[in-house]
A = this chain, B = another copy of it.
């Protein structure tokens, strides 16, 4: 992203829409060719996640929610790793540069950058004949050696998860006119809540310090709780036992399950939750729960890490293991 005296179309849209977001001195107001991040011996945490029109967001999703989702899916990873956001670079691939789309997109992106303390450092805008795609690489900071790993848990650790699970996949179902849309035809508030959960994740960055201090392993739940837990366990060579009745649900999700519209196993295999799953030793459990409370983030204890190499077990209220049809979402 560059400024220039004789503005080409690309330069002009960058100055108009994105320069106001480049509030960090290391961004050089987007008039240089690269940005800098000053360091002082900490570890810089790097994460990139892209969202594609038709895959991660829908063509008629409002541009402000698309912007927020693009940044927040990356902020969610920084949160899970215990990192403090430092800034991000943006690749924006669009068919056309339309003011009516770019203005609300950039405004919302700037609001989120401010809210989460993660300023725009630079980027690239390119034209594409295909669907829009927004790729963000987010940078964060942790004290040296203190990133919360995916590996690191042991049998006996508790498995905790933030927020509620399954709302986003129900929101997508509502937007696509699926079973949840039919069942909630008369409940506009529930429909809107679920759609908002799909469109605008709520990354748990407030929990980063508590995770760094107490968690032995963590990752964000983006491809389904079941599959992501399997990955977390595999990284440490352990297994887990999850009590399905303890999985935190919104009232809307619980209601749909209660009415038999959807099943809990399908919700824990759905994507786009952007909650944090972590493991906490028993000795740290009370402190972690208290730190989470002070950070204003709801956490639920859903099970425990156990020894073994088999996939995690999900037990129903009767203690019977439930078979899952699929663990998570895969792109290929």
A89 at interface (Cβ–Cβ under 8 A)?
Answer: yes
Choose one: B11, B39, B80, B142; the contact of A330 (CB below 8 Å): B11
CA separation between A35 and B77, bound complex, in Å?
Answer: 11
Contact with B along A10-50 (1 / 0, CB 8 A): 11010000000000001010011111111111111111111
Contact (Cβ within 8 A) B149 A32:
yes
Contact of A34 among B124, B147, B327, B330 (CB under 8 A): B147
What is the CA–CA distance of A97 and B54 in the complex, to the nearest angstrom? 18
Is A260 an interface residue, CB under 8 A from the partner?
A: no
Interface residues in A, total, Cβ within 8 A: 86
Report A153 CB to chain B, min CB distance, Å: 13
> Which listed residue (B9, B46, B81, B96) contacts A121, Cβ 8 A?
B46
Q: Provide the residues of chain B in CB contact with A33, threshold 8 Å.
A: 47, 77, 80-81, 150, 219-220
Query: A181 an interface residue at 8 Å Cβ cutoff?
Result: no
B230 & A330 in contact (Cβ 8 Å cutoff): no
* In the bound complex, CA of A51 to CA of B123 (Å): 13
Report how far A311 CA is from B149 CA in the complex, Å.
Answer: 52
Query: Could you say which residues of chain B place their CB within 8 Å of the CB of A127?
Result: 52, 55, 331-332
Scoring A residues 102 to 123 as 1 if CB is less than 8 Å from chain B, else 0, what string do you get? 0000000000000000000111
B52 touches A45 (CB 8 A): no
Q: Which residues from B are CB-within-8-Å of A44?
A: 36-37, 39, 44, 139
Task: Give A49 to B219 CA distance when docked, in angstroms.
Answer: 28
Contact A89 B48 (CB under 8 A): yes
Known: A38-B144, A50-B93. A55 touches B137 (CB 8 A): no
Q: How many copies does the complex hold?
A: 2
Interface of A is mostly: mixed
Give the distance in Å from the alpha carbon of A12 to the alpha carbon of B165 in the complex.
Answer: 26
Question: Are the CB atoms of B43 and A37 closer together than 8 Å?
Answer: yes
Indicate which residue in B31, B41, B137, B144 contacts A235 across the interface (CB closer than 8 Å). B31
> Which listed residue, B39, B78, B87, B220, touches A43 by the CB 8 Å rule?
B39
Query: For A90, what are the chain B residues with a Cβ–Cβ distance below 8 Å?
Result: 48
The stretch among A128-136, A195-203, A293-301 that forms the contact with chain B is A128-136
Interface residue? A249 (CB, 8 A): no
Identify 14 residue pairs between A and B in the complex whose beta-carbon atoms are under 8 Å apart, listed by A's number: A5-B230, A6-B327, A9-B330, A11-B330, A28-B150, A32-B235, A33-B220, A34-B78, A35-B46, A36-B46, A39-B41, A46-B122, A48-B89, A55-B128
Known: A4-B230, A36-B142, A130-B131. 6 other contacts (CB 8 A): A26-B43, A46-B137, A48-B89, A50-B135, A55-B126, A91-B91
A-B pairs, 10 with minimum CB distance: A130-B130, A8-B330, A39-B39, A9-B332, A137-B137, A5-B234, A48-B89, A97-B332, A34-B47, A91-B135
